[in-house]
């Protein structure tokens, strides 16, 4: 997985292909010509400071925002051309792990996990639903929390439950929005490990949005450095930071020297 022997890109299947992507909000140009490919079974980290357009990018991939220009192809479908029904079908194949975990505070952990499954897989029996909940809780290392409320969980545990809720629909692609934000270093390491375990166990392809270099180094098979709405460098962690570009050096120093 992350850090494995490099496989030439042209021998693998593209699951996301983005070309010439632009997005503005009023006079604020957020994305300024983004090209990006995600290959099957790969973790790609989109790295950059807050406000550079990283989260806007994955919202466009998920069809939550429309681009001003450009093409976004996900699993063979051009996202901007999909109707509402087609978009709902595509989103069932995408696992979106939100920065704040997006759990329902009034529901137990088990109810939070059952909700998307019951809504989208109405043919399943109660026994099948319960088994699915138990399986994803085991996958994220939180078996036994079924009856707990989100308010009883730590920040790291809520992140894990948020990931479990996306996994319960067995998505082909995972989109992680700042998965280690607000977590202490030890918990961050645990979440990074979980992201790699999800990749291995569920054979997912993932885009990981982060400004955390430890997360990027631990989880990324490939990194794309975003600044001012553009990718300025792409490659392995070592390749991206083997640069004399002052913008890249200052980003590295901010993470590891501050």
Q: What are the angstrom distances between the C-alpha of 144 and each of 136, 158, 160?
A: 12, 14, 13
Averaged pLDDT of the chain: 90
Q: Where are the domains of the chain?
A: 10-93+171-256, 105-170
**What value does the CA radius of gyration of the chain take, rounded to a whole number of Å?**
18
| pLDDT tier for residue 220 given thresholds of 50, 70 and 90 | very high
Q: What is the 3-state secondary structure (H, E, C) of the chain?
A: CCCCCCCCHHHCCEEEEEEEEEEEECCEEEEEEEEEEEECCCEEEEECCCCCCHHHHHHHHCCCCCCCEEEEEECCEEHHHCCHHHHHHHHCCEEEECCCCCCCCCCCHHHHHHHHHHHHCCCCCHHHHHHHHHHHHHHCCCCCCCCCCHHHCCHHHHHHHHHHHHHCCCCCEEEEECCCCCCCHHHHHHHHHHHHHHHHHHCCEEEEEECCHHHHHHHCCEEEEEECCEEEEEECHHHHHCCCCHHHHHHHHHHHCC
pLDDT, tens digit (0-9, with 9 covering 90-100), for 64-112:
999 999 999 999 999 999 999 999 999 999 999 887 778 899 999 999 9
Question: What span, in angstroms and rounded, lies between the C-alpha atoms of 36 and 44?
Answer: 10
Domain 10-93+171-256 has what CATH class? alpha beta
pLDDT at 207 over 60: yes
Range with the lowest mean pLDDT among 20-29, 99-108, 160-169, 198-207?
99-108
| Paired sense of beta strands 230-235 and 222-227, if any | antiparallel
Q: What confidence category does residue 258 fall into, taking pLDDT thresholds of 50, 70 and 90?
A: very low
Q: What percent of the chain has pLDDT over 90?
A: 77
Give the separation between CA 160 and CA 172, rounded to whole angstroms.
18
Q: What is the mean pLDDT of residues 5-23?
A: 80
Burial of 222 (0-12, 13-18, 19+ CB in 10 A): buried
């Amino acid at each position: 997985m992350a850090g494995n022997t490099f496989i030439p890109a042209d021998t693998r299947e593209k699951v996301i292909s983005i070309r010439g992507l632009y997005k503005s909000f009023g006079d604020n140009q957020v994305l300024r010509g983004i090209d990006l490919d995600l290959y099957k079974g790969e973790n790609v980290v989109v790295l950059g400071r807050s406000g550079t357009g990283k989260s806007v990018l994955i919202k466009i991939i998920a069809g939550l925002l429309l681009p001003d220009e450009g093409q976004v192809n996900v699993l063979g479908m051009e996202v901007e051309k999909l109707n509402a029904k087609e978009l709902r079908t595509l989103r069932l194949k995408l696992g979106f792990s939100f920065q704040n975990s997006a759990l329902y505070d009034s529901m137990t952990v088990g109810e939070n996990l059952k909700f998307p499954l019951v809504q989208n897989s109405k043919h399943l029996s109660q026994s099948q639903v319960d088994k699915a909940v138990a399986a994803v809780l085991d996958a994220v290392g939180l078996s036994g929390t079924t009856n707990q409320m989100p308010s009883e969980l730590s920040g790291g545990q809520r992140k894990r439950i948020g990931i479990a809720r996306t996994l319960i629909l067995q998505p082909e692609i995972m989109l992680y929005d700042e998965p280690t934000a607000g977590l202490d270093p030890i918990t961050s390491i645990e979440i990074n490990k979980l992201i790699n375990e999800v990749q291995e166990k569920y054979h997912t392809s993932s885009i990981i949005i982060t400004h955390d270099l430890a997360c990027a180094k631990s989880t990324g098979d490939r990194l794309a450095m975003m600044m001012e709405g553009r990718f300025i460098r792409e490659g392995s962690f070592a390749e991206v930071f083997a640069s004399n570009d002052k913008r890249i050096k200052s980003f590295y120093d901010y993470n590891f020297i501050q």
